[in-house]
Copies of this chain bind each other. A is one copy, B any other.
Amino acid sequence: MLGLFIELGNLKKLKRTGWVLRGVPNPESIADHSFRVALITFFLADELKKRGVEINPDKAVRIALLHDIGEARITDIPQPALKYVDKSEAERKAVEDLLKTSPLPEEYYQLWLEYEEGSTLEGRLVRFADKLEMLIQALEYESAGASGLDEFWNVLENLRSSEFYGHFKDIVDGLEDMRKQKRLL
């Protein structure tokens, strides 16, 4: 398992290419992103459960922690490359291989698939948290002076049309409000 732990270290070294290509100086790593996605998922899932939604928060957290690990092998291949590379297929195989030395390879891979395919409520919550995290980060960069990130905000539509929007309207709308003022808080 030590080899797996070492390989996961790649996620600390690799910067998220979406920011790199827009000229954000010293942007976050993939691990930085994944960490907050996991915490957001954790809190949102517990909140949903508290409100009576039938969801398994622990499963959601597990999916969140796994959702980007394939990038330890294939890196964060950015948008402009997707025309030339079948990223989804590549990631699928990379995740499968990477998990081979983990305690429950098949189980973890199935969890990852729930994210990739959005086939379960938990998987879709991670997709929601993944986008939310990205927008919070975009806002942070913009509040600190970055520009040229408009494109990212198209994702707000996805959040709005999500099944979770009803529950987290405050967060999504609050985020947009802050964005309009380009200010945190």
Residues of A within 8 A of B (CB): 1-6, 8-15, 17, 20-26, 28-29, 31-32, 34-36, 38-40, 42-44, 46-47, 50, 58, 61-62, 65, 69, 73-75, 77-78, 80-81, 83-86, 89-91, 93-94, 97, 102-104, 132-133, 136-137, 139-141, 143-148, 170-171, 174-175, 178, 182-185
Q: Is B47 in contact with A170, judged by CB distance below 8 angstroms?
A: no
Q: Is A74 in contact with B84, judged by CB distance below 8 angstroms?
A: yes
Q: Is A84 in contact with B75, judged by CB distance below 8 angstroms?
A: no
On chain B, the residues within 8 Å of A10 by CB distance are 21
Which among B9, B20, B42, B77 is the interface contact of A137 at CB below 8 angstroms?
B9
Q: Is B85 in contact with A5, judged by CB distance below 8 angstroms?
A: no
A132 and B1 alpha carbons, distance in the complex (Å): 12
A62 and B65 alpha carbons, distance in the complex (Å): 11
A-B contact pairs, 14 of them (CB 8 A): A1-B43, A2-B174, A2-B175, A5-B36, A5-B133, A12-B32, A13-B21, A26-B26, A35-B38, A47-B103, A61-B62, A74-B77, A75-B81, A148-B183
Q: Is A147 in contact with B143, judged by CB distance below 8 angstroms?
A: yes
